[in-house]
Amino acid sequence: MADVEKKDTVIVGAGPGGYVAAIRASELGQKVTLIEKSDTLGGVCLNVGCVPSKALIQAGHRLEQAKDASTYGISTQSATIDFKQTQQWKQTKVVDRMTSGVKMLMKKHHVDVVNGEAVFLSDTQLRVMPTGEKQFMSTDTGQTFEFNNIIIATGSHPIEIPGFKFEGRVVDSTGGLNLPEVPKEFVVIGGGYVGTELAGAYASLGAHVTIIEGTGSILPNFEKDMVAVVLKKLKKKGVEVITNAMAKSSSQDDQGVTVTYAVDGKETTIKADYCMVTVGRRPNTDTLGLEYTKVKLDKRGLIEVDQQGRTASEHIWAVGDVVPGAALAHKAFAEGKTAAGAISGKKTANDWTSVPAVCFADPELATVGYTQAEAKDKGLKVKTSKFPFAGNARAVSLDAPDGFVRFVYTDDENQNVVGAQVVGPEASTLAGELSLTVNGGMNVEDVALTIHPHPTLNEPIQEAADIALGFPTHI
């Protein structure tokens, strides 16, 4: 076995949590080594997740607009799509550009990037082997590192369900993002964030899409009145949504795939060009050798951490999809900064209350802090106020009047905003202001007195605050 190299701060995984932790640790004076098993930086989100999916969603919106702009009195010729060119644009102009940017940032911050797979030998040592090498203990290849501190940021992987092995025309979200053509018929199993986003994207690109969801509704993490707005738009796109349905099996040939599902015990088959399975993800913790450390896992394989990201092992930290909480890139960003700061002795801590959750459906949805039901479960007495985008000039001029902004605030003299939801145009962008409102402990009067520019999509935030004060303006 090769000699042991001593390292200051080691980070395993170059996704959102890992590379951001590397930057912050370097800025705080730590000497950082970043270990990544793939040949690109940025993790799932940047390479095969949230970033390329938004590129396809945008392409779908553009195609829809090009096909029919009659609402604006504009006549267009029949629009077509060269999907190979779309995929090339997504990869070279979006993904490759962003991953090269992360690579540049690592160089700028003097982060030593090591390619390979890591496995722990103890609470202070790990072995890094060439990617795909399984014989960690018996080969002389690879490197052994002894570290002062280490941050685990290895992310997660898609769940594969029985009867739907990821091969051929049955794909996970990565395969769904890289289809060689727009399918005529597309089946999506799982109506969560990813499934709903890509179902909408491919419907916009011209596919007939069927969503098979095991629960009573798609997007079960959002409130029903928000989801109703999305369902209305999906129906307009021709998307079929089948709920309370259990996917049973699949069979495929060179021409397509047949999916069998059951509702109330009655089995039905549906034929499609491709079937994408998006029923959740599992943390990448089972092959790290954590059994050789003091790190504790919960029953889902997630690493137990404190508010700074510290595990049960004093010098081992964890962030992102491998720890409890929502699997969100921006949550991983924040956790990476917190852990890097804690290693440097900063009094940092994670506060997940105001973490915004966003789904880039059509229209977009976002929620921050507590819903009304969650607030009541916490023992808070709350009220809500809601302003519709139909009363907003900018939304109407964009032909996007569906949806609303809602505040959840305490039913007392303070009227503190403890939560907010928005469904409608640019909800993802509006979530930033809503997160600031909740995180800053602002009350509805603070928001109402903040002058918002006109005509803009964030005016409904101020309008919802006005309603909470009992002085509605444009409703």
Q: Which residues are catalytic?
A: 454
Per the rule left: phi > 0, alpha: psi between -120 and 50, beta: everything else, 426 is: left
* Residue length of the chain: 475
Question: Shortest CA distance to 426 belongs to which of 54, 136, 65?
Answer: 54
Render 371-437 in DSSP notation, one character per residue. -HHHHHHTT--EEEEEEEGGG-HHHHHTT----EEEEEEESSSS-BEEEEEEEETTHHHHHHHHHHH
Strand partners, 245: 263
What single DSSP character describes residue 189?
E
Render 116-183 in DSSP notation, one character per residue. SEEEESSSSEEEEE-TT---TTT-S-SEEEEEEEEEE---EEEPPPTT--SBTTEE-HHHHHT-SS--
Task: Give, in degrees to the nearest 5, the angle at Cα 310 between 309 and 312.
Answer: 135
The dihedrals phi and psi of 237, each to the nearest 5 degrees, come to: -80, -5
Whether 2 contacts 143, CB under 8 Å:
yes
Cβ-proximal residues to 194 (8 Å cutoff; 6+ apart), any chain: 53, 173, 278
The dihedrals phi and psi of 383, each to the nearest 5 degrees, come to: -125, 170
Instruction: Tell me the C-alpha distance between 439 and 434, whole Å.
Output: 8
CA 12 from centre of chain:
20
Instruction: Tabulate helix, strand, coil % of the chain (nearest 5).
Output: 35, 25, 40
Cβ-proximal residues to 417 (8 Å cutoff; 6+ apart), any chain: 369, 407, 408, 409, 437, 438, 442, 443, 444, 447
Q: Give the gyration radius of the chain's Cα atoms.
A: 24
Per the rule left: phi > 0, alpha: psi between -120 and 50, beta: everything else, 120 is: beta
Task: Give, in degrees to the nearest 5, the angle at Cα 473 between 469 and 474.
Answer: 130
